[in-house]
A and B are shown apart, each in its own frame.
Chain A
Amino acid sequence: MSTGVTDEIRGTFAAIADVLIPEAEGMPSATQVGVHEDLLDRILGLRPDLREDFIRGIKSVVGEKPHAAAERLNKEDPAALGTIGLIASAGYYITPQVRELIGYPGQENRPADPDEDPEYVTNGMLQVVIDRGPIYVPTAKR
């Protein structure tokens, strides 16, 4: 899907995205998983409402050093920086590589056995609550 993002916009976004999500703590940077490539178009396709703040913010800092750009946006246009950060992080945490690194399998089906005795029953925790007795305030029928 073409989202009409120019190379200049894409490049500026890539640099800021790596400020927001750098290579550190054993994690790859934003651009190392390609948040500025097809993922950027995918995220903008999923959330076209983000485009306006994104383009405005990125255009306003084209040519600036990425750290300074992020700081200036944070002060002068926090909505734009929030949107740029959301696009970067949404793309980042969608990738299988990042999900594997943080131990996130994605939302998955894990049916439970409804007949299994819960731990709080077998270990007696809930019985303590029961043994303390009712805590509601009874009311009489009027």
Chain B
Amino acid sequence: MVASAGGKGKRSRRDEEVDVVIVGAGPSGSVAAKHLSAAGFSVVTLEQGHWPDPDEFPGKRPEFELVSQKQWHPNPNYRDRERDYPINTDESHINPLMFAAVGGSTTLYAGHWTPFLPSDFRVKTLDGVADDWPFTYEDLLPYLEEVEREVGVSGLPGNPAYPPQKAFPTPPLPIGKCGMKAAEGMDKLGWHWWPGTNAIPSVPWNGLNPCVRRGTCMTGCPEGAKSTANITYWPHALKSGAKIVTGARAREIEYDDTRGVVTGVVYVDEHGREHRQRGKVVIVCGNGIGTPRLLLLSKSKTFPNGLANSSGIVGKRLMMHPFSAALGIYEDPLDGWRGPFGQLIESFEFYETDEKRGFVRGAKWGAMPGGGPLGVTSFVGSKIFSGGDAKVEDSWGKNLHDLVERRFNHCMVWGIIGEDLPEESNRVELDSELTDTSGIPAPKLIYKVSENSHNMLKFHVDRCVEACEAAGSIETHVVHQVPDTGWHLLGTCRMGDDPKTSALNQWGQAHEVPNLYILDASAFPTCGGVNPTATIMSVALRQTKHLIAARRNQKAA
């Protein structure tokens, strides 16, 4: 491959062939863009969204809770912005959540920073299910530690749920009254808990302001205090010469059947005009739905069923982390609207397999505050926790005032992220009718929550209720398998050693196309039972550094 040797990346002219074309400027694509450009590669990133404007984030306005339920809702089907693509979810138990922007879905994430644990890379060896990863926790750790410094993670070192590692770059955020309440219950039961580790710095860091606990993390941080790649990665990437094209919707990756390589990406701009960005290497970072969608759209003589898909594995093994929650209500005021609105404390008490429980693998818990008054009367309030046969007076009238007085500022929620085992029947396909506003076929999901996941969440919900009660709750409620919780989209172009059963090798390189890489969570063989952004970014850095190191042997367009 002809990449610039050292120094800063070359600036490219429009339509010029560049060293690397990246599709998607979310966490993984941004890691790749920064490090490749710093290593001297010319890089163009195509992003279907735009640069987020902090002034647009509603967190500083009184109506923020109201608009968070529509314009800033994480479900693109519900939000329905022009830059979103629709997703057919008629056959899916879980609705996928995402956001199109520079920084990707982290624009709206809560910033939970929970790297995969050692056992997550060895599920087959330890539990006899799914697959081992082609590398280990120990292999990934140096990249995790480097990413944590770039991201500006806040946290307290020494968590006994993890092996020892370098200290986090910024001190932990306060866990507040709500986190302390959750910790009290765990303390009484003798169960593991630890102050939450978050991608939200407590002191100024790498362009980020320190968290001021405004508590509006999930509608975009108007304080610039939540780590998103538009703040922490792109200023460096641009300085190194990387280019980003926003409003660019990738339609196809072009493949040269004669040479056996990809040659670039065709994309549609916001005016409907089609462009072609040529590149020696193509990296796809479109998330676990967008990435297989693009590969399935990219058909050729060699790959009539989608690019790099002779195995038929592209789009299959979709994992989405089904989510349940338990709510505890307490007499003490808990400042339930105060941020960070991520995890105040976390627990890995029931993370590892115990077959006596009736399922394999486990889940992480994160304690969260209850939010503002609209949150109390919706997400953690009557509507979702009271079932489908509610009468008017159950949620309204005098009972509304009682409910708000009892719950607002008095509730704590344990959220449960459970490991979702890969199944080929859970998959992403192209919809035969639905398209985005550019006329590109939309994805369709076929996804069922497995019996293992169902049993796992039931077990964990019961334990969470015990934890709420141990902390002195006067009332508890549970909600099982919430539909709008598909934040984590993983597994649809898995890595592996066998080209018959995997799309990518251990470096994220397509087995069948040597200059095609996938660096997002599509590549994950399994999904762990934790929020995946830390691992997504660490894996992206590992693969990027390998690509840089192996540049002279890289077959290119």
Asked whether any CB of chain A lies closer than 8 Å to the CB of B348, the reply is yes
With a cutoff of 8 Å between Cβ atoms, the chain B residues found around residue A118 in the complex are: 172, 174-175, 195
Complex contact A81–B392 (CB within 8 A): yes
Which of B1-9, B230-238, B369-377 touches A? B369-377
Query: Is there a chain B Cβ closer than 8 Å to A1's Cβ?
Result: no
**B136-157 Cβ-contact flags toward A at 8 Å (1 or 0):** 1111000000000000000010
Asked if B99 is at the interface of the complex by the 8 Å CB criterion, the answer is no
On whether the beta carbons of A93 and B195 are closer than 8 Å, the reply is no
Q: Within 8 Å of chain A (Cβ to Cβ): is B128? A: no
Contact pattern, A 10-25, Cβ under 8 Å of B = 1, otherwise 0: 0000000001111011
Who on chain A is nearest to B171 by CB?
A114
Given known A25-B405, A85-B396, contact A135–B121 (CB-CB < 8 A): no
**How many B residues face the partner with a CB closer than 8 A?**
78
Chain A residues contacting B351 (CB-CB under 8 Å) are 135
Q: Using a CB-CB cutoff of 8 Å, which residues 228-253 of chain B contact chain A? A: none
Rounded to whole angstroms, the CA-CA distance of A94 and B210 in the bound complex is 28
Q: Is the CB of B210 within 8 A of A114?
A: yes
When the two chains form their complex, are residues B171 and A25 in contact, meaning their CB atoms are under 8 A apart?
no
Interface of chain B residues 58 through 83 with chain A (CB within 8 A): 59-60, 62-67, 69-70
CA distance A142 to B192 in the complex (A): 29
Residues of A close to B333: CB separation below 8 A:
103
Report the separation of the CA atoms of residues A126 and B193 in the bound assembly, to the nearest whole angstrom.
8
Determine if B400 is an interface residue (Cβ-Cβ < 8 Å). Answer: yes
| Other-chain contact of B397, A19, A109, A125 (Cβ < 8 Å) | A19
Proximity string of chain A (102-134) to chain B, C-beta cutoff 8 Å, 1 when within and 0 when not = 111011111110110011100001101110111
Q: Are B213 and A71 in contact (CB under 8 A)?
A: no
B213–A109 contact, CB under 8 A? yes
Q: How far is the CA of A138 from the CA of B333 in the complex (A)?
A: 40
Residues of A close to B392: CB separation below 8 A: 19-20, 70-71, 74, 81
Q: Which residue in B175, B194, B213, B409 is a CB contact (below 8 Å) of A111?
A: B213
Give B349-408 interface residues, CB cut-off 8 Å to A. Answer: 349, 351-352, 372-374, 377, 383, 391-392, 395-398, 400-402, 404-405, 408
Q: Interface majority SS on B: helix, strand, loop or mixed? A: loop
User: Is the Cβ of B396 less than 8 Å from the Cβ of A20?
Assistant: yes
Neighbouring A residues of B171 by C-beta, 8 Å: 114-115
Q: In the complex the two chains form, is B118's CB within 8 Å of A139's CB?
A: yes
Closest chain A CB from B397 CB (angstroms): 6
Contact between A130 and B160, CB atoms less than 8 A apart: yes
Write the residues of chain B forming the contact surface with A, with a CB cutoff of 8 angstroms.
59-60, 62-67, 69-70, 117-119, 121-122, 125-126, 132, 136-139, 156, 158, 160-163, 170-175, 180, 183, 187, 190, 192-195, 202-203, 210-216, 223, 333, 337-339, 348-349, 351-352, 372-374, 377, 383, 391-392, 395-398, 400-402, 404-405, 408-409
For this complex, 29 residue pairs linking A to B, each with C-beta atoms less than 8 Å apart, are: A19-B392, A21-B396, A27-B401, A46-B66, A47-B66, A47-B70, A89-B377, A90-B65, A93-B372, A94-B62, A102-B373, A102-B409, A104-B337, A104-B373, A107-B216, A112-B173, A112-B202, A114-B202, A118-B174, A126-B194, A128-B187, A132-B160, A133-B160, A135-B192, A136-B117, A137-B118, A139-B121, A139-B138, A141-B138
